[in-house]
Amino acid sequence: MMQVIGHEWAVHSLESSAQREQLRNAYLFCGVHGIGKRTLARQFAQRLLCQQPNAPCGTCRTCKLVGLGRHPDVLWVEPIVSGNLIKSAKIGIEAIRELNYQLSLRPVETTRRIAVLSQFETANDAAANALLKTLEEPPGNALFLLTASDELALLPTILSRCERLNLRPLPIRTVQSALEEHWQAPADQAQLLAHLSAGRLGWAVQMMQNPEALQVRQQALDDLSQQLSNSLALRFVYAEKLSKDRELLTVTLDHWRTWWRDVLLLVSGQGERVVNIDRLSGFKSLQQRVTAQQAAQALEEIETALQQLERNANARLVLENLLLEWPRLLVAG
Amino acid sequence: MKVSCLQENLAKALGIVGKAVGARTTLPILANILVSTENNQLRLTATDLNLAISCWIGAKVEQEGAVAMPARTFIDLVNALPQGTVSLELNVRTQAVNIRCGSYNNDLKSLDAQEFPIVPTTEGQDGIEMPVELLRSLISHTVFAAATNDARPILTGVEARIRDGQITFSAADGYRLATQTGHLGAPINHVPAIIPARALHEVARVSHDPNTTAMMVLSANRSQAMFRIGNVELVSQLIEGNFPEVGQLIPKSHQTRTIVSTSELANACKAARIFARESAGTTRLKIVPGNGATPGQVMVSAVSQETGSNETTVDANVEGVPVEIAFNVQFLLDMLSAIETPNMVIETNAASTPGLFKPAGKDDFLCVVMPMNLNR
């Protein structure tokens, strides 16, 4: 059996088509970042290549190598990060041409070759078009597994050649118990991460294994409380400082977004769905002083700011503009 | 693993297998050479997943085992060692290999052999035996015609056909086709296989000893072609798909048949190449039959706007109508290098149809070349 936490129906559908040996040429796993698309792809590759009776056994040489991403018959194509000022990850046409050639050769150790194309929404049109023919008529019995966070960003010609499996967020409870069971997280940390993850187990695990990321979040939320009580002059000093690191700025805005979302939920009486559960006292102190409209507006402004940053707007101006609009509030805790 | 062998043998073997070390970064293990003990011999293996080369050398095995060693470092190190006995000892706990030779003592960090792709061997498999000379000619007379770009992967390969004891290699890149046939000792039949040209280049490189026998094995699952020459084995993944039907590409009839000296035509082409550089290699062959008094002629010419022009006349025996036809001079030279007889035959129809080239008096080799546009 495939060892995937959650996504039962997707696992079931893949398993049954593997058993009936009625596989498609290509599968597309869609879902937000960190939800388990690559985990599912890896497990499915193990399921197809493992020769043991209850494939994937997870212990044979094939399973191990596939798990490590080092099996000669499983070809991974990942976006390559490039650029100095603005980093962007892209799958280029060269990578696809190389893949096309590799797939034209017979498998090395097993009976089929599997190509995993991760984050295929980052492929430009030329790369996607170069894949079309092989995707439609794979040489031998090669199989494609594509992952994408946004299927709308893919060419319709790619979509129509794949069977789509949309992965949905896991229940918070599932994430929490998985973190405790499989990654030995302490209960309180597991609870917080599960809430923050919005059902993205992979994201939660990444955060857990990277204490620095959690620290960045703490800092971001502390800064948020601070800036809300600060004068405009001090806010601008802060804006100048933070805007120097574009990457950190984007991450910070992301955390702010969850915070404002919580505020909005709280003032509209949906307190039980709050995700930043370690900041409850701060939210409570705000409850009477912020209106739903204010929170919604702040949320919208962050969205706009993030969009502007993506379009390479001046980071400092974007942040100043955002902080300019915020009300002045005192946040407890 | 504990084993000792001679530095010369080790360096020579590494030189051979080193050609297959993978450059791709996706699988780091491929930048390693697998060193393993097998029946009192030392086996060295490298692969880039398309081509694997193994080489066996005599060694004194004290303890069996296997380890994957970083290729670049290992090769450089062995080449730096003095002649004499080299001993390799793997420390399983640290995964480091202690390499000693005379007063030289080195520790090389290595990887687990388990991660190395499994490379099959010809051992215990039914193979097709042939003299190394035959294998060499099959390869060198066809491999030049294989495509070098990956747009149509199938054309980067050479098709091997074995029927009724006849072995035929064919390659084509869309502009030309070359086939070479040889006779095997036994009436063997086999399904066709398409072997990447790059692998065959390496096979030809190791088949230098004319007195040995080469063995070719096409694996049962039709995944690999294996070649064993002496103590070296090359395993190449086969290309998937159907090769174009070679027989249909060979012109069945001709209007003009020209017999010409191979070396004279080659020299004329070499001269034409100098002038043809700027016109994508366009070289004209003007073929005129003789009339009792004068012999037939082939006029080889090339024109360049900048360099000038050239024309070389080669005497020939021409039957049929006169014709003027242009070819890429590089294709002609590639083809001429594969013809070993003193005279050769050119069969042509018209300026717009392919030309057929073959040795005079032999029909084991032939080459079809598409013509170029005369008006350029």
pLDDT in tens, A104-134: 888 888 888 999 999 999 998 999 999 998 9
- The pLDDT value recorded for residue A273 is 83
CB contact, 8 Å: A270 with chain B?
no
Q: Residue B233: pLDDT band by 50, 70, 90 thresholds?
A: very high
Domains and CATH numbers, chain B: 2-115 (3.10.150.10), 128-247 (3.10.150.10), 251-369 (3.10.150.10)
- The pLDDT value recorded for residue B88 is 92
- The pLDDT value recorded for residue B376 is 54
d(CA B88, CA B110): 12
- The pLDDT value recorded for residue B129 is 87
- The pLDDT value recorded for residue B195 is 93
B26/A75 CB distance under 8 A: yes
List all residues 6 or more positions away from B201 whose beta carbon is below 8 Å from its beta carbon.
B139, B143
- The pLDDT value recorded for residue A240 is 92
- The pLDDT value recorded for residue A85 is 66
Q: Residue B24: pLDDT band by 50, 70, 90 thresholds?
A: low
Nearest CA of chain A to the CA of B54: how many Å?
15
Residue B189 has pLDDT above 70, yes or no: yes
Q: Residue A37: pLDDT band by 50, 70, 90 thresholds?
A: very high
Residue B292 has pLDDT above 80, yes or no: no
- The pLDDT value recorded for residue A320 is 92
Q: Residue B75: pLDDT band by 50, 70, 90 thresholds?
A: very high
Q: 10 Å Cβ neighbour count for A272?
A: 7
pLDDT digits (tens, 9 = 90+) for A276-295: 888 888 888 887 788 888 88
pLDDT > 90 fraction of chain B, expressed in percent and rounded: 47
- Whether residue B239 contacts residue B194, with contact meaning beta carbons closer than 8 Å, is answered with yes
CB contact, 8 Å: B45 with chain A?
no
CB contact, 8 Å: B150 with chain A?
yes
CB contact, 8 Å: B68 with chain A?
no
Nearest CA of chain A to the CA of B150: how many Å?
6
Question: Which chain B residues touch A100 with a CB distance below 8 Å?
Answer: 150, 153
Q: What secondary structure, in 3-state letters, does chain A show?
A: CCCCCCCHHHHHHHHHHHHCCCCCCEEEEECCCCCCHHHHHHHHHHHHHCCCCCCCCCCCHHHHHHHHCCCCCEEEECCEEECCCCCEEEECHHHHHHHHHHHHECCCCCCCCEEEECCHHHECHHHHHHHHHHHHCCCCCCEEEEEECCHHHCCHHHHCCCEEEECCCCCHHHHHHHHHHHCCCCHHHHHHHHHHHCCCHHHHHHHHCCHHHHHHHHHHHHHHHHHHHCCHHHHHHHHHHHCCCHHHHHHHHHHHHHHHHHHHHHHCCCHHHCCCHHHHHHHHHHCCCCCHHHHHHHHHHHHHHHHHHHCCCCHHHHHHHHHHHCCCCCCCC
Say what the pTM is: 0.80
- Residue identified by tokens 């007379």 is B141
DSSP conformation class of B1: -
Q: Residue A241: pLDDT band by 50, 70, 90 thresholds?
A: very high
pLDDT digits (tens, 9 = 90+) for B296-348: 889 999 988 888 888 999 988 888 899 999 999 999 999 999 898 999 999 99
Question: Which chain A residues touch B196 with a CB distance below 8 Å?
Answer: 105
Question: Which chain B residues touch A101 with a CB distance below 8 Å?
Answer: 150, 153, 156
Name residues 109-148 of chain A within 8 A of B (Cβ).
109, 111, 139-140
Q: Could you give the 3-state DSSP secondary structure of residue B186?
A: coil
Q: Residue A58: pLDDT band by 50, 70, 90 thresholds?
A: confident
